[in-house]
Amino acid sequence: MGRKRSNKPTSFDIAYRAGVSQPTVSRALRGSKSVSLATRQRIEAIARELNYSVDKNASSLRSQRSNTIALLFFEEATPDDSKINPFFLAMLGSITRQCANRGLDLLISFQKMEDDWHVRYQDSHRADGLILLGYGDYTLYESRLAGLVEQGTQFVRWGSVGDDNVGATVGSDNIGAGRMAGEHLLALGRRRIAFLGQADEHYPEFADRYRGLCAALQDAGIAPDPALQADAISHEDSGEAAAAALLGAGHQFDAVFAASDLIAIGALRALAEAGRRVPEDVAVIGFDNLPAASMTNPPLATVMQDLKGAGELLVETLLAQIEDRPPPPRTLPASLVIRKSAAG
């Protein structure tokens, strides 16, 4: 989704003119040796042409290390009162350990997306950089990220990794994971595979998982049926409603790939209510491998993300920005956990 343009030039304008990424522009304008001399000179020339100036306050802030990282959780709708996606809570341990291994203090804060967190932290000396977890609708979040980039705030978020990311993003190989789930269901003989999850620019991670499923179907010579994709956010009630809507509309399907375990757990309830046996009539695979996945009836097959690797990658990517060195790889592989809901 495009950002609104203003008369004031931004680092995104320079990136577009130079044919490089926005983080490359930021490093070049800081004089980073990780950017080649030729690229640096080209970016500096475009910046002069556009009368672009680097924020001196942000540059000064970067030179004053506090050895503290701020971890911001954003509130989401959850089945309990925590307001925090349980997947992100599970990631907390690995982030904490990695910070301890690197001699860093970790400041944890819970935020509401509608609050001015992006303003409050970008001029703060409390932390050298931010790790952002959870955001809901990405289209409402993107402009806040662009503001952080323009202010010079160092940050990294967990999400969908792509060439058009705003700022540093790391995440799982969601397309590969979706393909893996689809291939497993196809190997079980399933041919009508429903996808539960909002698969558009509002939820890009879900969209990537759906793309992976579609790729697996196409490789098997099966055209994906758009009628078998039902929007759902990561909440049990939303998953139950999406599955019930497909069943109520009379759509025939023999498998479900849900974009999250919470969605899948809700789908299991809807299938049981409709008298559909799992996995005999409908195989079900979720995503995240939450503790609750092993306690459903039947136990839920799911895609497991690398929590230990996620914590390490988030911290190391942020430190690479702070220390002005090339970032590590941005994606982590996922693995399939087979349980009875999608067993052969």
Q: pLDDT of 333-342, one tens digit each?
A: 999 999 999 9
CB atoms within 10 A of CB 36: 11
Residue 170 and residue 310 in contact, taking contact as beta carbons nearer than 8 Å: yes
Domain edges within the chain: 1-48, 64-171+306-333, 174-305+336-342
Q: HSE on the CB side for 3, CA within 13 Å? A: 21
pLDDT digits (tens, 9 = 90+) for 152-199: 788 999 999 988 888 899 999 999 999 999 999 999 999 999 999 999
> Token pair of 321, please?
């920005």
**Fold agreement between 1-48 and 64-171+306-333:** no
Q: Taking 80 as the threshold, does the pLDDT of residue 132 lie above it? A: yes
The CATH T-level fold of domain 64-171+306-333 is Rossmann fold (3.40.50)
Of 214, 91, 234, whose CA–CA distance to 156 is shortest?
Answer: 91
State yes or no: pLDDT of 315 exceeds 60: yes
Q: Determine which of 68-82, 206-220, 269-283, 324-338 has the lowest per-residue pLDDT on average.
A: 68-82
So what's the pLDDT on residue 110?
Answer: 79
Average pLDDT, the chain: 87
Instruction: Note the pLDDT of residue 146.
Output: 85
pLDDT of residue 5: 46
Contact 11, 149 (CB under 8 A): yes
Banded pLDDT at 81 (limits 50, 70, 90): low
Strands, E assignment, the chain: 68-74, 105-111, 129-133, 155-158, 168-172, 193-196, 229-230, 255-258, 283-287, 301-304, 331-332, 335-337
The DSSP H or E segment spanning 88 is: helix 86-101
Tens-digit pLDDT profile for residues 247-273: 999 999 999 999 999 999 999 999 999
CATH no. for 174-305+336-342:
3.40.50.2300
Residue 1 confidence (pLDDT): 41
Domain topology for 1-48: 434 Repressor (Amino-terminal Domain) (1.10.260)
> What is 54-76 written as a DSSP string?
--HHHHHHHTS--SEEEEEEE--
pLDDT at 164: 83
107-121, 124-138, 212-226: least confident range: 107-121
